[in-house]
């Protein structure tokens, strides 16, 4: 083999950039998605360093200082039990992230697995899974989740279960649809014609083309999960007091909306901030994963 | 005459549908000679693409037999077929859909080599891929590109390189140029012809474009509604088409030479549905020569003295 060619190949190997890196480059170019990422990073930072950021404990009540206005000691005032509101909101990010991540993992795992099965195998497997999806989707999510919480009792894991039980159907539908289109693609047929095994076709041709969709789904479903869990808490069937949860803080503040409007509004702001962050990331990822968008 | 590389006998492929069985391929007999280029022409929807996929056993035949190199492969399992895939390559119609968007050109071309254990030595795989790229008129640097970074013509060159990588004996070409610009079409056809001569390949072309088949084929077949109506050496068919459908099809092509004329037949009517093909000869509702016999009795696909085979009661 001539030396020149070897040299050229070696140079190309260095030039070769990974797809992960290209995705990051495209993601970075979208200003909104970078803003979203920073929002989420802020929330994660708060969740990790909450004890350092505030001198109070979220359960620490002060009966003589109830519903206090914002002041130097309590920057956002106190709630109806005299607990520092900012402290509770900061600690609330832990609950929000925990619930959000658990829900998304739970429903994502079930939904993507079922979607894969239904899409790849088709036939009666598809029929059974998709009819189950149809049935579950005909229930109003929040009412169903309330019923589940009512039967099984309240608590963090039951919230995850209640929301995930219906939530996975969105993933299953999306992934199934994607697989149906990929399965029929010429490049899959070409792979079989070249002699690829079924396992290899799934791992090298189908999964890599479904994965971006699944990741985007997770990021887009995250805010939905957060809002759903906040709604359950707001309705009083979610995460239980005294755990600091944004939804229940907003619900508690509702009774004092005239006297202490900052309670509900700040809790709402925290929810909005986090949800917005994940939404922006989801949008940015969708563009970044698209291999047809131009390389910079 | 060379030896037969691939032969199918009474090959059928029917698909279920709500209206009944769609008879996409309905009893095909043909032989592909080693080293020859077979061109099959037919309208869209006549079952050409299905035929290729059944011959490659990407679809299971409903009935009939397939022989490759003298061996019957009809009953071959998925696993048994995998080993045989080394001998048969395929080039697809639309280069934009035929390449995995998440693989680099290097991966796309090297996969067949890896599957069949044909990488000469570990470090040589790259060299093999580069050689293939260069033989297709591409550069070394295309190796690290993704399909979306290439033009249609470049993608089709990659598609051809992938088919050629394992040095197969037979290559199926499913309208390899119809998605490309005319200028690019010529280049791809030249590359294919060069590869065929250098590597002693056998081609099986399908196309709806008679002019393409005219250029590339040695043997020509005409397909109508799931059946082959006429097969023969290209010159024979072009100079003196026998089957009324073949004649009708050829009269539809503008003839650049005013002195050259063939018996004109104006095709009228629509192609009947492959779910309910007409009884007898399936061309009878559109055929100007159709008589009562054509409406009842299906013509035999018989061989004539000049070496062609035609399915028509007229001959």
CB contact under 8 A, B100 and A195: no
Distances (CA, A) of A117 to A110, A128, A129, A221: 11, 11, 9, 21
CB contact under 8 A, A189 and B58: yes
| Helix and strand totals (H; E) in chain B | 11, 12
Shortest Cα distance, chain B CAs vs residue A224, angstroms = 30
B25: which strand partners? Answer: B13
pLDDT digits (tens, 9 = 90+) for A140-158: 878 887 888 778 877 788 8
Q: Which residues contact B264 (CB under 8 A, 6 or more apart)?
A: B247, B251
> Could you say which of A16, A195, A198 has the minimum Cβ distance to residue B112?
A195
Check: CB of residue B61 under 8 Å from CB of residue B53: no
CB contact under 8 A, A209 and B56: no
ipTM for the predicted complex comes to: 0.89
Check: CB of residue B132 under 8 Å from CB of residue B16: no
Q: What is the dihedral of CA B67, B69, B71, B76, to 10 degrees?
A: -70
CB-CB neighbors (< 8 A) of A291 in chain B = 101-102, 146, 148
Shortest Cα distance, chain B CAs vs residue A14, angstroms = 10
Across the range B98-121, mean pLDDT stands at 88
Distances (CA, A) of B306 to A33, B5, B38, B233, B303: 72, 22, 18, 9, 8
Give the separation between CA A296 and CA B37, rounded to whole angstroms.
44
Judging by beta carbons within 10 Å of its beta carbon (0-12, 13-18, 19+), is residue A194 exposed, middle or buried? buried
How many Å is the Cα radius of gyration of chain A?
A: 24
Pairing of strands B63-68, B170-174: unpaired
Provide block-wise average pLDDT over 10 residues at a time, chain A (296 residues): 69 70 84 93 93 84 80 82 88 91 92 91 92 90 81 82 89 93 91 91 90 86 88 83 86 87 91 93 85 53
Check: CB of residue B283 under 8 Å from CB of residue B225: yes
Distances (CA, A) of B24 to A272, B206, B297: 57, 15, 20
CB-CB neighbors (< 8 A) of A209 in chain B = 100-102
pLDDT digits (tens, 9 = 90+) for B57-107: 999 999 999 999 988 999 899 988 988 999 999 999 999 999 998 898 999
CB-CB neighbors (< 8 A) of A204 in chain B = 100, 103, 111
> Could you say which of A16, A186, A205 has the minimum Cβ distance to residue B94?
A186
**CATH class of segment(s) B4-310:** alpha beta
Judging by beta carbons within 10 Å of its beta carbon (0-12, 13-18, 19+), is residue A20 exposed, middle or buried? exposed
pTM: 0.81
pLDDT value of residue A296? 39
**Through-space distance between the first and last CA atoms of chain A, rounded to whole angstroms:** 34
> Could you say which of A9, A189, A195 has the minimum Cβ distance to residue B140?
A9
Nearest CA in chain B to A7: B140
CB contact under 8 A, A9 and B111: no
pLDDT value of residue B263? 58
Domain ranges of chain B: 4-310
CB contact under 8 A, B115 and A195: yes
CB contact under 8 A, A193 and B148: no
pLDDT range class, residue B41, cuts 50, 70, 90? very high
A3 close to B (CB below 8 A):
no
CB-CB neighbors (< 8 A) of A185 in chain B = 97
Of all residues in chain B, what percent carry a pLDDT higher than 70? 97
pLDDT value of residue A163? 87
How many Å is the Cα radius of gyration of chain B?
A: 20
Q: DSSP labels for A112-180?
A: HHHHHHHHHH-HHHHHHHHHHHHHHHTS-HHHHHHHHHHHH--SHHHHHHHHHHHHHHHHHHHHHHHHH
How many angstroms separate the most distant Cα atoms in chain B? 69
Across the range B214-218, mean pLDDT stands at 90
Q: Which of A193, A199, A294 to mutate to test the interface with B (most CBs of B within 10 A)?
A: A193
Nearest CA in chain B to A201: B100
CB-CB neighbors (< 8 A) of A3 in chain B = none
Shortest Cα distance, chain B CAs vs residue A136, angstroms = 29
Q: Which is nearest to B143 in space by CA: A10, A22, A188, A1?
A: A10
CB-CB neighbors (< 8 A) of B92 in chain A = 186, 189-190
pLDDT value of residue B314? 86
Check: CB of residue B233 under 8 Å from CB of residue B218: yes
Strand B63-68's sheet: what is its strand order? B20-33, B4-17, B63-68, B71-72
Please count the residues of chain A. Answer: 296
CB contact under 8 A, A9 and B127: yes
CB-CB neighbors (< 8 A) of B131 in chain A = none
Residue with tokens 């039980």: A165
Angle, in degrees to the nearest 10, between helices A246-254 and A207-234: 30
The interface residues of chain A toward chain B in range 228-267, judged by CB-CB distance below 8 A, are none
Residue with tokens 């019957």: B72
Residue with tokens 């085979």: B309
Element (H, E) at B17: strand B4-17
> Dihedral sign, CA of A31, A33, A37, A40?
positive
CB contact under 8 A, B88 and A193: yes
Please count the residues of chain B. Answer: 315
CB contact under 8 A, A193 and B58: yes
CB contact under 8 A, A193 and B56: yes
Give the separation between CA B210 and CA A241, rounded to whole angstroms.
78
Check: CB of residue A83 under 8 Å from CB of residue A210: no
The interface residues of chain A toward chain B in range 168-227, judged by CB-CB distance below 8 A, are 185-187, 189-198, 200, 204-205, 208-209
CB-CB neighbors (< 8 A) of B162 in chain A = 190, 194
Q: Which is nearest to B68 in space by CA: B50, B87, B49?
A: B87
b/e per residue B292-315 (b: at least 16 CB within 10 A): eebeeebbebeeeeeebbbbbbee
pLDDT value of residue A295? 43
Domains defined for chain A, CATH in brackets: 30-54+75-289 (1.10.3720.10)
Element (H, E) at B171: strand B170-174
């Amino acid at each position: 083999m001539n030396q020149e060619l070897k040299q050229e190949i070696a140079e190309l190997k260095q030039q070769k950039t990974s797809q992960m890196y290209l995705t990051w480059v495209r993601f970075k170019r979208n200003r909104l998605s970078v803003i979203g990422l920073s929002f989420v990073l802020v929330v994660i930072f708060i969740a990790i360093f909450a004890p350092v950021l505030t001198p109070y404990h979220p359960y620490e009540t002060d009966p003589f200082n109830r519903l206090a206005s914002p002041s130097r000691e309590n920057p956002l005032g106190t709630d109806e039990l005299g607990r520092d509101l900012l402290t509770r909101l900061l600690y609330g990010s832990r609950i929000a992230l925990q619930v959000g991540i658990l829900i998304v993992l739970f429903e994502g795992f079930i939904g993507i697995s079922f979607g894969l099965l239904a899409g790849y195998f088709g036939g009666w497997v598809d029929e059974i899974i998709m009819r189950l999806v149809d049935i579950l989707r005909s229930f109003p999510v929040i009412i169903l989740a309330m019923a589940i919480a009512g039967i099984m009792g309240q608590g963090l894991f039951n919230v995850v279960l209640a929301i995930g039980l219906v939530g996975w159907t969105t993933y299953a539908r999306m992934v199934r649809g994607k697989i149906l289109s990929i399965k029929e693609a010429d490049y899959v047929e070409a792979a079989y014609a070249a002699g690829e095994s079924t396992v290899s076709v799934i791992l090298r041709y189908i999964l890599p083309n479904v994965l971006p969709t699944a990741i985007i789904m997770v990021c887009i479903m995250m805010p939905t999960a957060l809002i759903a869990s906040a709604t359950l808490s707001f309705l009083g069937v979610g995460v239980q007091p005294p755990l600091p949860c944004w939804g229940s803080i907003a619900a508690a503040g509702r009774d004092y909306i005239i006297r202490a409007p900052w309670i509900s509004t700040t809790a709402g702001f925290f929810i909005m901030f986090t949800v917005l962050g994940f939404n922006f990331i989801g949008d940015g990822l969708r563009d970044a994963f698209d291999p047809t968008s131009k390389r910079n | 005459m060379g030896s037969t590389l691939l032969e199918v006998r009474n090959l059928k492929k029917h698909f279920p549908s709500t209206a009944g069985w769609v008879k996409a391929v309905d009893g095909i007999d043909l032989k592909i000679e080693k080293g020859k280029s077979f061109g099959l022409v037919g309208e869209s929807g006549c079952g050409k693409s299905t035929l290729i996929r059944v011959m490659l056993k990407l679809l299971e035949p409903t009935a009939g037999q397939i022989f490759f190199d003298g061996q019957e492969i009809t009953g071959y399992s998925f696993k048994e077929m995998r080993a045989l895939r080394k001998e048969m390559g395929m080039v697809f119609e639309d280069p934009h859909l035929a390449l995995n968007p998440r693989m680099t050109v290097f991966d796309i071309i090297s996969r067949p080599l890896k599957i069949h254990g044909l990488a000469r030595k570990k470090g040589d795989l790259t060299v093999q891929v580069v050689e293939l790229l260069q033989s297709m008129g591409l550069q070394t640097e295309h190796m690290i590109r993704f399909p979306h970074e290439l033009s249609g013509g470049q993608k089709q060159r990659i598609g051809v390189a992938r088919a050629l990588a394992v040095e197969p004996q037979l290559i199926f070409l499913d309208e390899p140029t119809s998605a490309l610009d005319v200028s690019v079409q010529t280049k791809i056809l030249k590359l294919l012809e060069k590869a065929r001569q250098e590597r002693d390949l056998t081609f099986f072309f399908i196309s709806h474009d008679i002019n393409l088949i005219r250029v590339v084929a040695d043997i020509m077949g005409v397909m109508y509604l799931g059946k082959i109506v006429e097969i023969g050496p290209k010159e024979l068919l072009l100079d003196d088409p026998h089957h009324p459908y073949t004649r009708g099809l050829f009269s539809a092509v503008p003839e650049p030479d005013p002195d050259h004329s063939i018996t004109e037949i104006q095709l009228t009517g629509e192609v009947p549905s492959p779910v309910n093909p007409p009884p007898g000869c399936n061309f009878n509702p559109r055929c100007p020569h159709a008589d009562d016999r054509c409406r009842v009795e299906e013509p035999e696909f018989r061989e004539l003295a000049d070496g062609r085979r035609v399915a028509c009661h007229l001959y």
